[in-house]
Structures are given as C-alpha cells and as structure tokens.
Structure 1
C-alpha cells in the first residue's frame, strides 16, 4: 500500500519501464509482454468528419450490430460499447452493492483490484466450486495467463445459482476470439451475466481503446448509463464496425496465429522451457531460472512478462515479422545457454 492506496497492478507492455531497466538494450525493442496480435487489422480510410463532430447514434448502432453478429448476441441492444474493456472493469463494481466477490485465479489482476477498490470483499479461488457463497463471481475465459477454459455449461450453472440469490457472473472473454466458438457464453447468455469482449487483442488495435459489455436488458442499460454519452470516439466506432464485419480477415488471422503459436512452443521447448498453456495470442512457459532468462532477453531488447506470484513463469507474445522471430530465437538460445554456463 502507498499512502493508504493499493499498489498498481503490474502489466505487460510497459516499455518505458523496460527502457529504464535496460538502458543499453539492443534496439528496436520487441515487446512480447502482451497478448496483442502482432499483425493488426488494416485500418480503414476514415471520413474526416469523424474527427471533428461528436459520435452519432447511427455510428454506434452500426458498431453494435456488427458486434452482436460477430459475438452471437441476441440483439444489438444487449451490446454496450466502451473505451476499452478496462473501463468496464472499473465501472461494474460500482453497480453492485458491497458484497463478497470470488475471482477465479491466478488471472488478470485488474479485476480483483477494481472490486476491492470499490469496497467489496474479494477472494481469489481456484475453481467455480470454491466460489460458492460469493455474491459475484469473475471468470476470465480463456484465462490470462494460463489459457484455462471453464466450460460454458459450468458457467451457466454458476450463473443460475447467482441469479437465484440476486448475484452476478462476470465473464471476461477478451481472448475468446482465438478459442473455439463453443467456449463463449454469449450466444446462449445466462441470466445475471455480463460478458466482456475486447477489440484490441485479436485485432491488434489496443490503441483504439474499444471494448464491449454484453448483458441482458436492465443490466445492459445500467452499464450504458454508467458509461455516459459519447463513451467511444467516432473513429473508434468506425474502425470497430469495419473490423468486426470482416470475416475473411478474422479467419485468416486465426489460422496464422495457430501456426505462430506452434512455432513459439517449439522455440521455447528447444531451449529448455516448459510450455504450460496460454492461447494462440500468447504462451505461458516455466523455467527454474525464469528471472535470469527474462533479464538476458531484456538486455537483448526483448520484453517478456514476469509474474511476482509465480517466479518460474514467463509469458511470451508472438513476434510479428521474420526478423523479429530470428531475434527471439537467437536471444532465447543465448539466454538459456547462459543459464547452463557458470558466469
């Protein structure tokens, strides 16, 4: 705690901190510390007026229709657009009276932090059974960083139980774009459930800051009111509508990511790391000297994600170009060879 406030949650993508930590690192930096598609959706040409006028309801409607179709929501009215999923993570705890919250972990740390900051009693649990007795249950599905998928039937059972007690199920599907379609609960949305989806991960457009909440009737309206008018910029609305409507790009990108993940697994295993899981956007691996491997990679200008709660874990995103792949493969070999050679 600092001055009575919780410490900020550590995240990937912090190149400013990496540059300060490794001032003599090889340039340019290759950021492998996030789970963002390194080959992003090509930005469409935008009408100049999108930058100079307030977003229109018709612009938002087009995006909601594209999102409902893409994610399988029953209606565009079930979709709430937001300036990134993180904004929704901050808002949801303010819509629920102080209660006991169970977060299936280890997982994305902002969920527990947001509920705690809003005054809720938060507990970390290992599975859905351990969440019994909680008024709110939060599940990241597929999980970040492990890639664990809780079956939709299990989530529906949890949702029905929570609904009977006036509770809430929150399912963060930020990485569901690369999971089997059957893994999402959106097409058969359970009662008292809010599903979060992200454009930035799969489409490689994290800087656009666009995310969605999908919920039934009253809850969708409450989230929409909490976000306020013009929550999403006009350019973001147009980019999101174009991206979510492009099925050909999505299918081709999924196939490319599958191949890239297999290549990354091979490189990690060839250098003595054990692949624990993940998704096709990131891989989680372990090494007994993970901190020293991350240090060596950092000096080589490659940023990977470390975990204070799991000191043998490292998370690797995907390189974007063949030159980046070669740099990673050479740096991994050098880092892991150094682990086997006394200094």
Structure 2
C-alpha cells in the first residue's frame, strides 16, 4: 500500500510502499477513505514531540472494514467506521470507571514476539497513535474504531475521529456545560470550531470565540458563536471579562500555545473552569495564582476531550445527519495523499480550518 512516511523530524513526508500485516485475532483491517490533517500530527512531524522513526502519522480517519480477526465482535467487513486514537482495553481501572481515553494497556499493540503491523522491506514502520492513517489501509485493534451509519459521508466522518470528538467531548464531558452557562473558546481551528458547535448544541447561553484570523471568527459565528474577539487585541481577555460581567463559566483552550493557555485562565469568572485541549510545549507549565485559587477557579486537562468514543462518535454522526453538527463548515479543503506536505504547510500558517486527505 501507499503511505506517507516520516523519516526525520522537520523533513517532508515521502510517499512510499509499505507492507501491512494480516489482522490478528482482535485486529481490524480498514481501507482508508479520508483522513483529517490535525495539528497533533504536526507536533510529531516538526519534532516538538518525540516518536520512534520511521513512522506513518495520521490519526483522524474514516474508512471501510476489509477484514477482521477471528475474535473481533464489534465490526465486520463492509462496515463504515471512524477510528480514534483513544484505543481502550475495556477492563483496566480507567476503562471500568468510564475514563476510556486514559487507557494505556499495552495489549492494544502487538507484543515483542509478534510481527510488526507495518514494514518497509526489513525495516519496521512504527505505528503512530494506534492508527497511522496517512495510508491506503490501516490495521488497528478493534477497540480503536467504531461502526457508524453507512449513510454518513466518510470525508466528513473522518474529522469526528479527533477534532470533533475532542472539541465536543470537552463541552459534553470534561467541562460538562449546563444550559445557559457562558463558554469562551480560544482558538478556532478544527477542535475549537467543534467546541463552538457543541456549546451551541449543549445550550450555552453565550459562546465567545477568540482567534486572530477574521475568516475563522466568521466560521465560528456560523457555527454558533454569539461573540467573536480578535486574539491579537491588547485587551482581548479584558473584553471577554467585561462583556460577561466578570468572566466565563468555561474557557476551552484549543491551540496548544503558552499564551492561549494563560488567556484561558484570565477569562474565568469566580468558580470558572479552564480546560486545556491543545498540545502545549513539553516544558511549559500552565498554572493558577493564589488569587485564582481563592476565587475557586479550576484548571484541567482533557485528553481527547475525555471522550467515550464508541458511544460519542455514533451520536455525533447522528447530530450531523440531523443537521445539528456542521462538519461542512469545519472542513476547508480536500486533497490527495500526494499533497500531504502542502496540507502541513497550510496548517503551519494557521489561516484555515480543517484539511482532509481523501483516497479514491
């Protein structure tokens, strides 16, 4: 199969032939239909986060099941599926307490005595984030994908696998937004726009989108933002506090930069909660001051939005089919795998929403 290979951080990906193994007992072979281009992949491509090399990035995907192992019970050949990096074992403490996105069970990957899932000749290709989706096929554990309504267009469904699951999960699970509460979303890329849309679905009373790009602020308004603010304005945080008469109940950080994490805390009212979704620099610390603590402000991370993707993703698909979740606005452009480096260049600029790689 053809796949986009990362050999060295900071270098362009190359399209090469990769051998993919047959499904093991709990594994699923998927013909990839579409993959979103996420900033999380860019962190690995640019070397901000380490990963064994060579590897195939990509983790926000949808496709059709081609084959399954003899113990797979959750999907079958012919099913349309969305993948999610939050693979889960189903029996550890995290899983049985409902925190599937925190599962780190090693049995979800192949063991040392088993052949690798991906190879180039005699070279092992390391699977990234349980998926490695910038490829014509994916071989994953059955608990890294979920079947969806076959009526769902797969070039839209793919972005549910990360951007929407993360942004909506932050609203529905991590922040647990109640109807009428105020929400500020810092950063209007794919995850931030999904959070805006989810806040509207959740019945937030006021939704404030903060981004330096006018076009992204316009997209946020289309998706449900009641207010938009230029993130580059000197008084951006103060403007939010003034408009909300003391700050917001929930601030969602969806960029992964130190300044946006700090801004999320500045936006809070007494008792408010800041939820950090973006992948911050590994050495950065986001914190609360003594005065923040005295005001009962809270700061939390939310890996992949604290999702329960086997339940969440089919529901989000239903929201799209009902016209309540607007994925068409989130997706900026579609392109073939051969343009993956162009997609990353556009992501570095930060001017557009979500790009999608499609396979014919």
Fold shared, TM-score > 0.5 on shorter chain: no
1 or 2, which has the higher strand percentage? 2
Q: Greater RCO between the two (CA within 8 Å, min separation 6)?
A: 1
TM score, norm. by length of structure 2: 0.30
